[in-house]
A and B are shown apart, each in its own frame.
Chain A
Amino acid sequence: MSAVFEQIFQVGFLAAIIRIATPLAFATLGEMFSERAGVLNLGIEGIMLLSAMAGFTAASLSGSLWLGVLVAVLVGALMGALHALFTVALGLSQHVCGIGVTLFSSGLAYFLYRLIFGQQSVPPSIDGFKPAPIPLFSDIPILGPAVFNQFTLVYLAIIAIPLAAFVLYRTPWGLSVRMVGENPRAADSAGVSVIATRFQAVILGGALMGLAGAFLTMAQFNAFTFGVVSGRGWVAIALVVFGRWDPWRSAGAALLFAFVDALQLRMQASGLGHIPYEAFLMLPFIFTIVAMAFMSRNAVAPSALLKPFRREER
């Protein structure tokens, strides 16, 4: 067992946690904005996959990684708009439409990928983002190499957390988002457009999901595979609940999940070979379920979550 502990308390382990947490943090913040406005977005898994594919393709064809990121964000925002069209403008079931968006986006991602890259024995890869150490900070012992010697997208995620909290709690738009998620009628009678605010929040959420997808194919794996998202979207939905719809707590939840995920990776690699590796793979998910069961019992969802808003209803 000592080998396990040795490996755990390495700088590399801390860095791995941060890296694993990054796409989860983007996705969780994205889902959080959507849900705070009252719209559950079950399209997240598919949106991440399609964005990951679109970003990878754009980067691969143009040679510009940042263009790839931009494309991924735009595709995410577009799919967010599609989900908002169904659930906000037309007031359809958020569950059904979300699953529809996931199935549609995943199918489209597979289809377009095959169309563009064909069937290849070795999946094409790109030269992804390289760590961009921040001068001075990266020299801090332990913390430096773990936090300040990362991809630019990681820094972006670290900035996104306080930024999301600021937008949600300190700006009039954030207040409108929270209000339309709690009591859309109150927002409406105060002259706030419920439809527009929800559209904006779901689109912003989609864009953040797109960033999460971009990170997977352009920083983490540098290639697109059909299993590249592998449930991270669904996990993000659970993390939003775990984080009680709050940016800080949600990011914390993402970090905690990443810790368990990094831990199980290390355990797989260490001397516990006699246990099937699938058992370790389960760990983060078991952790999520247990954590949710104990920590989220009195979590209260936004009151108007899942409820479409119609003005002339009496």
Chain B
Amino acid sequence: MAGRPEGGIALPFAVSRIVSEGVPLSAPLIEMRGITKSFGAVKANEAVDLSVAPGEILGLLGENGAGKTTLMNVLFGAYAPDAGEILVEGRPVAIHNSADALAAGIGMVHQHFHLAPRLTVLENLLIGIAGKSGRIDRAGGLARLKEIGRQHGLGLDPDLPVSVLSVGEQQRLEIIKALFRGAKLLILDEPTAVLAPSEVDGLFAALRSMAGQGLGIIFISHKLNEVRALTHRCVVLRHGKVAGRVDHPASTTSAEMAKLMCGHEIVPPTREASTPGAAVLTLDGISTSGHAGTPLRDVSLFVRAGQILGIAGVSGNGQRALADVISGMLPPQAGTMAIAGKTVAQFSPRELQALGLGRIPEDRMTTGLVTNLPLADSMVLPRIGTEAFSRKGLLDPAAIRAFAEAQIKAYDIRCPGPMVRAGALSGGNLQKALLARELAFDPKVLIVSQPTRGLDIGAARFIHEKFLAMRAKGCGIIVIGEDLEELLMLCDRIAVMYEGRIAGTLSSADASVARLGLMMTGAEGHA
């Protein structure tokens, strides 16, 4: 028993184990053959083949709804495939549930973490592991946690409750959890979607270290630059089928991969030169307090008609307070704000909307719409009670429905109809719906946060084109975002927020990722 933690916790995976069992190293760790899975009439996966060798990082690329998550859920035992087989180290296995998957050495880090926030790090790790003599094996768990920390540089305080961990730390805990159970193959479902750019580097370093020690990794993403930087090989899914395989992602261009994903060329939109008009939104010396996030301190900025202003910054530097002030949810402590020359007297979402403000919130599901109500209701929510959708104090269901139907058509929102539950739509379609509901009323100013977070290339491109079209029509747009390349492509000017202040504003001609990145750390101020 020397060197092994007691209490039935599995030995750490090592390359030598595969060799000792007589299977050559080149044999795939995991092989999926001809996997087909349908939900009703929709074929989410059709005859998909995929394999991962030990030490290999496989990219699984595809647009939203291409069947990536379904395929991985089949591998992890959440869904039974209609056809096809799964082989682990050359032997066919039946995976009926996550316990089978774990036993076969497959660990998964889901997009939405499977953690209990009020329990501690260690408790989250020990769940489902039999203790010794009926008690939780704390000592064994601690030893194992330390060992994983040493092997892969993944450390966490075992006694902290998960609720105090940052998103990046929670993700690290999910990875540790998989390794804790002796995973030989780690599946990560869009792991970077929730991370700040600075956290992505740390994740990639950990993944490379794990692959270096013989683990197989499946990395799911639709971010091409990440897949090119990290993976050894990739499989592209489209409409549930394998659309192509890329053997050298690093030397393949993003355009080629994008074409495989979408089935057609993706042309980045161009921002035409324009002459901006008068200022449509002005903030003068705005300060806030009593906000859950970082408060604003003496923020002044403006955006002109026909101009896009980007707000860059590491998340948590006052962006949320800024969005809340501009959308009328947080009255400022000091300072004034004007929309189209009119000073805002009363900060309420309805008041500002009447002045010509449109808003697309950061969190589509909670502040964007009501997930359990029909889509049509969510699409008129900010304007319920206005004459467009009600008559004599009563809702006008026909008008609401007609509006929703028209927008569904105009924005190509893929859904069964206007009366479908809003929560059933994919992220890209929800974002289109939110965009449609604001743009339909020709706002003078539009404020958006993280407009394309979690969206695939096609949907993101659509959103970008709409912004540029609104800009051409003379709308002033403020885009709060963390994706600097997106901001550089869209914006005429970019302001950087740091600790609740505007650290500086650059015109797009002067801005670069490197310079903005420096300003985001507070290193450089620029007037």
Partner-B contacts on A (CB < 8 A): 170-172, 174-176, 178-179, 182-183, 185-192, 300, 302-303, 311-312
B136 touches A190 (CB 8 A): no
**6 new A-B contacts at CB < 8 Å, known A172-B136, A191-B102:** A182-B118, A186-B114, A186-B124, A188-B98, A189-B114, A190-B127
Cα A188 to Cα B135 in complex, Å, equals 21
Specify which of B99, B110, B117, B126 is in contact with A182 (CB 8 Å cutoff): B117
Specify which of A170, A175, A187, A312 is in contact with B79 (CB 8 Å cutoff): A312
Give the distance to chain B from A109, nearest Cβ to Cβ, in Å: 36
B78 touches A311 (CB 8 A): yes
B118 touches A191 (CB 8 A): no
- Rank and list the top 5 A-B pairs by shortest CB-CB distance, nearest first: A191-B99, A182-B116, A186-B114, A190-B128, A183-B116
Residues of B273-311 whose CB lies within 8 A of A: none
Chain A contact residues: over half helix, strand or loop, or mixed?
A: helix
**A residues less than 8 Å from B124 (CB atoms):** 179, 186
B135 touches A171 (CB 8 A): yes
Give the distance to chain B from A225, nearest Cβ to Cβ, in Å: 41
User: What are 16 pairs between A and B in contact, CB < 8 Å?
Assistant: A171-B135, A172-B126, A172-B128, A175-B119, A176-B128, A182-B119, A183-B117, A185-B114, A187-B128, A189-B114, A190-B128, A190-B177, A191-B103, A191-B128, A302-B118, A312-B78
Cα A174 to Cα B131 in complex, Å, equals 11
B118 touches A300 (CB 8 A): yes
Select from chain A the residue with minimum beta-carbon distance to B118: A182
A179 touches B116 (CB 8 A): yes
Whether a CB of chain A sits under 8 angstroms from the CB of B209 is: no
If A189-B110, A191-B102 touch, whether A175 touches B126 (CB-CB below 8 Å) is yes
Residues of B51-68 whose CB lies within 8 A of A: none
Cα A192 to Cα B97 in complex, Å, equals 10
Cα A37 to Cα B117 in complex, Å, equals 15
Give the distance to chain A from B104, nearest Cβ to Cβ, in Å: 11
Cα A182 to Cα B113 in complex, Å, equals 13
Give the distance to chain A from B232, nearest Cβ to Cβ, in Å: 27
A/B pair count, beta carbons within 8 Å:
79
Specify which of A171, A187, A302, A311 is in contact with B127 (CB 8 Å cutoff): A187
**B residues less than 8 Å from A302 (CB atoms):** 118
B98 touches A191 (CB 8 A): yes
A172 touches B116 (CB 8 A): no
A172 touches B130 (CB 8 A): yes
Give the distance to chain B from A168, nearest Cβ to Cβ, in Å: 11
Cα A311 to Cα B78 in complex, Å, equals 8
For chain B, the bracket of interface size reads 20 to 34
Chain B contact residues: over half helix, strand or loop, or mixed?
A: loop
A170 touches B119 (CB 8 A): no
**B residues less than 8 Å from A176 (CB atoms):** 127-128
Residues of B422-476 whose CB lies within 8 A of A: none
Whether a CB of chain A sits under 8 angstroms from the CB of B176 is: no
**A residues less than 8 Å from B108 (CB atoms):** 189
B98 touches A179 (CB 8 A): no
A303 touches B116 (CB 8 A): yes
Cα A188 to Cα B114 in complex, Å, equals 9
Give the distance to chain B from A211, nearest Cβ to Cβ, in Å: 22
B118 touches A192 (CB 8 A): no
Whether a CB of chain A sits under 8 angstroms from the CB of B123 is: yes
**A residues less than 8 Å from B344 (CB atoms):** none
B136 touches A189 (CB 8 A): no
Specify which of A170, A172, A174 is in contact with B129 (CB 8 Å cutoff): A172
A189 touches B98 (CB 8 A): yes
**B residues less than 8 Å from A189 (CB atoms):** 76, 98, 108, 110, 114
Select from chain B the residue with minimum beta-carbon distance to A169: B136
Select from chain B the residue with minimum beta-carbon distance to A173: B134
Select from chain B the residue with minimum beta-carbon distance to A167: B134
Give the distance to chain B from A52, nearest Cβ to Cβ, in Å: 32
**A residues less than 8 Å from B114 (CB atoms):** 183, 185-186, 188-190
Select from chain B the residue with minimum beta-carbon distance to A185: B114
A191 touches B116 (CB 8 A): no
If A188-B98, A190-B98 touch, whether A175 touches B127 (CB-CB below 8 Å) is yes
